[in-house]
Structure 1
Amino acid sequence: MDIIKAIIMGLVEGLTEFVPVSSTGHLILVGDLLNFTGQKATVFEVVIQLGSILAVVVVFWKRLWSLFGFYKKDYNSISGKLNLIHIILAMLPAVVIGLLLHDFIKNVLFHPLPVVLALIAGGILMIFAEKKKTPVTAGSLDEVTYKQAFGIGLFQVLALWSGFSRSGATIAGGLLLGLTHKTAAEFTFIVAVPIMFAASGLDLVKNLDVLSTSDIPVFAAGFITAFLVAMLAIVSFLKLLSKIKLTPFAIYRFVLAAVFIIFQIL
């Protein structure tokens, strides 16, 4: 039964990590439904997040290598070409705030009520970003400026509020700062690699003492499931986003918040 639960949780993580609907909110709700809770379950969620991040590395491997000077010929050699400075600027706000408020975030914001409020707030931001219709100044990753990268990093701070959704915050922020939907989503995925590896790695190191060798099959099942599903979800989401935009995802978040509330009442 633990293996089945692990696969279900891996499916949920892979499907929702890079879609603006809050993977954390889904994992909390599904974990409660499956009675898959506690400290070991929390560590399990960290491990399957690493599976999702590995999927980004595989899908965007050439673009990631280009940040270090490889495969330059495959991308535009224009002023402002995406480089490591963009990534550092986008990471900086969330890293600083996350380190300063780590215990508060884990102890206060990872509970049903804050998640419900974050789902609603994030949905409102996404709808606002769609309605605002900021003029596009970055139609590709190579046209993203340092100022836009840092601005997206500021929006990423909102994702420290569990349930807000990192991709929802950064894609909405990207739209408000002049990126296209596709460019904002791709930038979101690439920035996710270092910041989520760092955050998940820190959580994993802090909780290694609760794990044992008997956990390996369960954790491996969840990790592999999340990795495979996330690869499909990333490619599918990029195609879907260009057609339906963010509003349907915002509406889904409102529905999920209502489900949370009903679930808590019952």
Structure 2
Amino acid sequence: MSDNIIAVIIGIVEGLTEFLPISSTGHMILVGALLGFEGEKASVFEVFIQLGAILSVFILYRDKFLAMLRPRTLNNFGGSLTAMHVLAGIIPVMGLGYLLHEFIKTYLFSPYTVIIGLIVGAILMLVAEKISQRPVTNDVDKMTIKQAFFVGLFQILSLWPGFSRSGSTIAGGLFLGMSRKAAAEFSFIIAVPLMLVACVYDLMQIWNKLSVDDFAMFAIGFVVAFITAYISIVWFLRFLNNSTLASFAYYRFGVAGISYYYFFLR
């Protein structure tokens, strides 16, 4: 299979799964193993195309991001989402992620650990749907700094591949009295600075392993990830207006079961 076809396939997987509660990292590890696309080049590619997914969120929420950069919003905690909310949501996972970065990359990037993450993350989502009360925060602009911080604590779970960053943060939001849509939007917004920092850090470590010949493959993956991520976000927000996370949880169980059979039983 040519590199360009692999770029399209993995770009679609990244774009469709990055912001849905099904774990993009887990899916890319599994799909990469299925395609035989592994190693240093694959690692760089998978990090790089996440920038395409990040760009889709920035374009969709550009007004909110630009508002956060205006000085008048930095001390406004009552009327809109601020930079302080974003900081509160990303500091916990950034700190722990930095400390555990090498351990996670060395020991947790495998089909087996992804399967565990898919199952446990699905259970968390079902529990959140079961015990969450009527939401008191229906608009992301109305969430508190305290809610942002505790959602950030739930996001730490996503350091385990397969758990899903959006799945853990949305479940956390439900536990904290947020609506599904508000929790999802906050999850998308805090993903931009968090993923940007993580991607730049990873790329600085391994960028020198690429050659000019890889440019076409990386460009294709970036564009495909951007387009599919944009579409998936718009669809997901509409889906959450009338549906729960249960279908995604059951999907995760299915992927875990199929993956376990493929990698360990056949």
Checking the alignment, whether the CA contact within 8 Å between 2:64 and 2:81 is kept in structure 1 is: no
Q: What does residue 54 of structure 1 align with? A: 55
**Separation in structure 1 between the aligned mates of residue 244 and residue 135 of structure 2, nearest angstrom:** 15
- The sequence identity of aligned pairs, in percent, is 48
Q: What does residue 42 of structure 1 align with? A: 43
**Separation in structure 2 between the aligned mates of residue 241 and residue 179 of structure 1, nearest angstrom:** 13
One-letter amino acid of the counterpart of residue 44, structure 1: F
Which ranges of structure 1 fall in alignment gaps of 5 or more residues?
A: none
**Separation in structure 2 between the aligned mates of residue 70 and residue 179 of structure 1, nearest angstrom:** 27
Q: Secondary structure at 1:243's aligned position in 2? A: coil
**Separation in structure 2 between the aligned mates of residue 236 and residue 138 of structure 1, nearest angstrom:** 22
Q: What does residue 184 of structure 1 align with? A: 183
Checking the alignment, whether the CA contact within 8 Å between 1:80 and 1:144 is kept in structure 2 is: no
Q: What does residue 92 of structure 2 align with? A: 93
Q: What does residue 237 of structure 1 align with? A: 236
Counterpart check, 1:223 vs 2:211: no
Checking the alignment, whether the CA contact within 8 Å between 2:181 and 2:241 is kept in structure 1 is: yes
Counterpart check, 1:162 vs 2:161: yes
Counterpart check, 1:31 vs 2:32: yes
After superposition, residues 169-208 of structure 1 pair within 5 angstroms as: 169-208=168-207
One-letter amino acid of the counterpart of residue 157, structure 1: I
Q: What does residue 122 of structure 2 align with? A: 123
Deviating 4+ runs (over 4 angstroms): none
One-letter amino acid of the counterpart of residue 226, structure 1: A
**Separation in structure 2 between the aligned mates of residue 49 and residue 145 of structure 1, nearest angstrom:** 28
How much has 1:70 moved relative to structure 2?
Answer: 8.6
Alignment TM-score, normalising by the size of structure 2: 0.95
Q: What does residue 7 of structure 1 align with? A: 8
How much has 1:134 moved relative to structure 2?
Answer: 2.5
One-letter amino acid of the counterpart of residue 146, structure 2: K
130-139 vs 222-231, which moves further: 130-139
**Separation in structure 1 between the aligned mates of residue 177 and residue 107 of structure 2, nearest angstrom:** 34
Which ranges of structure 2 fall in alignment gaps of 5 or more residues?
A: none
How much has 1:25 moved relative to structure 2?
Answer: 1.3
Q: What does residue 247 of structure 1 align with? A: 246
**Separation in structure 2 between the aligned mates of residue 262 and residue 78 of structure 1, nearest angstrom:** 50
One-letter amino acid of the counterpart of residue 162, structure 1: P
**Separation in structure 2 between the aligned mates of residue 251 and residue 112 of structure 1, nearest angstrom:** 19
Q: What does residue 20 of structure 2 align with? A: 19
**Separation in structure 2 between the aligned mates of residue 78 and residue 187 of structure 1, nearest angstrom:** 15
One-letter amino acid of the counterpart of residue 11, structure 2: G
Aligned-residue Cα RMSD (Å) equals 1.5
186-195 vs 139-148, which moves further: 139-148
One-letter amino acid of the counterpart of residue 67, structure 1: M
